[in-house]
Amino acid sequence: ESSGGWPFASEERVRGGVFKDINPEDEDQQPTVIESLCMNCYENGSTRLLLTKIPFFKEIIISSFTCPHCNWTNTEIQSAGRIQEQGVLYTLQVKTKEDMNREVVKSDSASTRIPQLDFEIPAFTQKGSLSTIEGLLDRAVAGLEQDQPIRKATDPAVAEKIEKFIERLKKLKEVEEEFTLIIDDPSGNSFIENPSAPQKDTALTVTHYKRMPEHNAVLGIEEEEDDKKPVNDLDTMRNEVLVFNTNCPECNAPANTNMKLVQIPHFKEVIIMATNCDSCRHRTNEVKSGGATEELGTRITLHLTDPSDMSRDLLKSETCSVLIPELEFELGMAALGGKFTTLEGLLKDIKDLIVSKNPFMCGDSSTADRAEKLELFGQTIDKIIAGEMDVHIILDDPAGNSYLQNVYAPDPDPEMKIEKYTRTFEQNEDLGLNDMKTEGYAEK
């Protein structure tokens, strides 16, 4: 047993049906109570376990330990979902006291940094938590204060320095000066709330990145070595559907993923991957670019003038952002992954992501103002789909791998504008191009 009364540490994969959506009306969804050893007084206490699902954080295990003998308590949250394909880096500029109320999901593998104090909480030194920015600071203060009585007795000089540092941490909660909070999670399972949703959060920067081998080693991911010879016959790949085994992203049950190389007219080849789960009936599709990153980025602007525009085919790569200027709305890259759908399908996916699957729309996290604002956004999307609003849809892809159907092809589309632009250094950094070396290999 570890501290906090954990009764077990199982590596067994849990299938769908065990993790249920939070529902206050579900009488069957009650915490499991297990007698556990208190790591404070070594008497027996009780651990309550609840296996549930939270959107954006997938399956989780909520643990709460209480000891009736010494009144010690401990709560933990542990991700039971799959590790995401990419790591995530959140950079938040904390400017006001309202920012301290932002809700945060921090997984075990996430590290937390405050550069202004040269302060860092390394990964795997704390259990995962569902808290606020203020709660993260309070937890850090509590951790530093825990051994202060012993330090004051054994090493007063060190204790005094830590005491001064604790005071600096406490002052951050007053937000007398701006500071930066950075959460870096190679598992991709951490999250910081955007209180301005569905509008863009100007104080929060979210960056997805490809994990390094050392990240995979820490997470316990074994990189598979492919001993099979690569398929070089492109005609075979174009004519056949490749099938390989995987796990369902929702319930982790075994499933099959179908993959095929498809040529999009007037564009390029793409790889379409579709997964169907027989256990929970979850269906998903994803699109990957079949070619290289283009020399120039692409910005496609479509003026919606007719409901028939909703039927236009659309390819959104994982590097593409979606903007609706009239709503001051921006969906960052990687938010919905790569998709090959219609314009109507994209707008419905945006509505589901912002409204239906938003974890801050239900339970204790919900407020009347926030729920009303997001509900109004969903109604506005419905009006756009019905052709009742005059808006523009912008697909901005710095990799140049996104596409929107031109219904007038091969003639120009009078309502669609396609711009090519040179990427900025920051965009090349997000795409991993600044560190890519392509010269000198022929000489080796």
Of 145-154, 288-297, 431-440, give the range with the top mean pLDDT.
145-154
**pLDDT reported for residue 228:** 45
| Structure confidence at residue 393 as a pLDDT band (50, 70, 90) | very high
Per residue in 243-281, pLDDT tens? 888 888 777 788 888 888 877 766 667 788 888 888 888
**pLDDT reported for residue 63:** 86
CA angle 29, 47, 39 (to 5 degrees): 165
Residues 98 and 210 reside in one and the same domain: yes
Domain boundary among 79, 94, 120: 79
Q: Is the pLDDT of residue 159 over 60?
A: yes
Q: What is the mean pLDDT of residues 16-27?
A: 56
Residues 276 and 352 reside in one and the same domain: no
7 within a domain of the structure (yes/no) = no
Residues 278 and 403 reside in one and the same domain: no
What is the Cα–Cα distance from 191 to 106, expressed in whole angstroms?
7
**Using an 8 Å Cβ cutoff, are 380 and 219 in contact?**
no
Q: Is the pLDDT of residue 179 over 90?
A: yes
Buried b (16+ CB within 10 A) or exposed e, 175-203: beeebebebbbbbbbbbbbbbebbeebeb
Which positions ≥6 away from 150 have C-beta within 8 Å?
Answer: none
Q: Is the pLDDT of residue 300 over 60?
A: yes
226 within a domain of the structure (yes/no) = no
Question: Which of these, 200, 170, 203, lies nearest to 96 by C-alpha position?
Answer: 203
Residues 62 and 172 reside in one and the same domain: no
Q: What is the mean pLDDT of residues 202-211?
A: 88
Residues 127 and 168 reside in one and the same domain: yes
**pLDDT reported for residue 13:** 36
Q: What is the mean pLDDT of residues 379-400?
A: 92
Per residue in 310-342, pLDDT tens? 999 888 888 899 999 999 888 887 777 788 889
Domain boundary among 219, 249, 268: 219
Q: Is the pLDDT of residue 1 over 50?
A: no
Q: Is the pLDDT of residue 444 over 60?
A: no
**Using an 8 Å Cβ cutoff, are 297 and 422 in contact?**
yes
* Poorest-pLDDT segment among 100-109, 132-141, 433-442: 433-442
Q: Percent of the chain, pLDDT > 70?
A: 81
| Structure confidence at residue 182 as a pLDDT band (50, 70, 90) | very high
Q: Which of 130 and 90 is assigned the larger pLDDT?
A: 90
Q: Which of 307 and 267 is assigned the larger pLDDT?
A: 307
Residues 75 and 90 reside in one and the same domain: no
Q: Is the pLDDT of residue 2 over 50?
A: no
What is the Cα–Cα distance from 287 to 314, expressed in whole angstroms?
11
* Crossing angle (nearest 10°) for helices 156-172 and 133-145: 170
Radius of gyration (Cα) for the chain, nearest Å? 25
**pLDDT reported for residue 324:** 93
Residues 301 and 418 reside in one and the same domain: yes
Residues 72 and 91 reside in one and the same domain: no
140 within a domain of the structure (yes/no) = yes
* Poorest-pLDDT segment among 220-224, 300-304, 360-364: 360-364
Q: Is the pLDDT of residue 5 over 70?
A: no
Q: Is the pLDDT of residue 140 over 50?
A: yes
When divided into structural domains, the chain yields a total of: 4
Specify the CATH number for the domain of residue 404.
2.60.120.1040
441 within a domain of the structure (yes/no) = no
Residues 389 and 412 reside in one and the same domain: yes
CA angle 294, 295, 299 (to 5 degrees): 70
**pLDDT reported for residue 235:** 60
Q: Is the pLDDT of residue 196 over 60?
A: yes
Residues 151 and 176 reside in one and the same domain: yes
**pLDDT reported for residue 3:** 39
Alpha-carbon torsion (123, 128, 130, 131), positive or negative: negative
Specify the CATH number for the domain of residue 51.
2.20.25.420
Residues 205 and 310 reside in one and the same domain: no
Residues 53 and 158 reside in one and the same domain: no
**Using an 8 Å Cβ cutoff, are 79 and 107 in contact?**
yes
| Structure confidence at residue 202 as a pLDDT band (50, 70, 90) | confident
9 within a domain of the structure (yes/no) = no
Q: Is the pLDDT of residue 410 over 80?
A: yes
Residue ranges making up the domain that contains 269: 234-289
168 within a domain of the structure (yes/no) = yes
Q: Is the pLDDT of residue 285 over 60?
A: yes
170 within a domain of the structure (yes/no) = yes
Tokens of 436: 């890519």
Strand 416-421 versus strand 297-303 pairing type: antiparallel
Question: Which of these, 425, 426, 435, 421, lies nearest to 207 by C-alpha position?
Answer: 426
Of 26-35, 77-86, 102-111, 299-308, give the range with the top mean pLDDT.
299-308
pTM of the shown model: 0.58
Q: What is the mean pLDDT of residues 172-194?
A: 90
- Please state the φ and ψ torsions of residue 367, each to the nearest 5 degrees: -125, 155
229 within a domain of the structure (yes/no) = no
**pLDDT reported for residue 183:** 95
Q: What is the mean pLDDT of residues 36-63?
A: 80
Q: What is the mean pLDDT of residues 381-386?
A: 93
Q: Is the pLDDT of residue 422 over 90?
A: yes
Q: Which of 10 and 222 is assigned the larger pLDDT?
A: 222
The backbone region for 441, taken as left when phi is positive above 0, alpha when psi lies in -120 to 50, beta otherwise, is alpha
Q: Is the pLDDT of residue 347 over 90?
A: yes
Q: Which of 96 and 220 is assigned the larger pLDDT?
A: 96
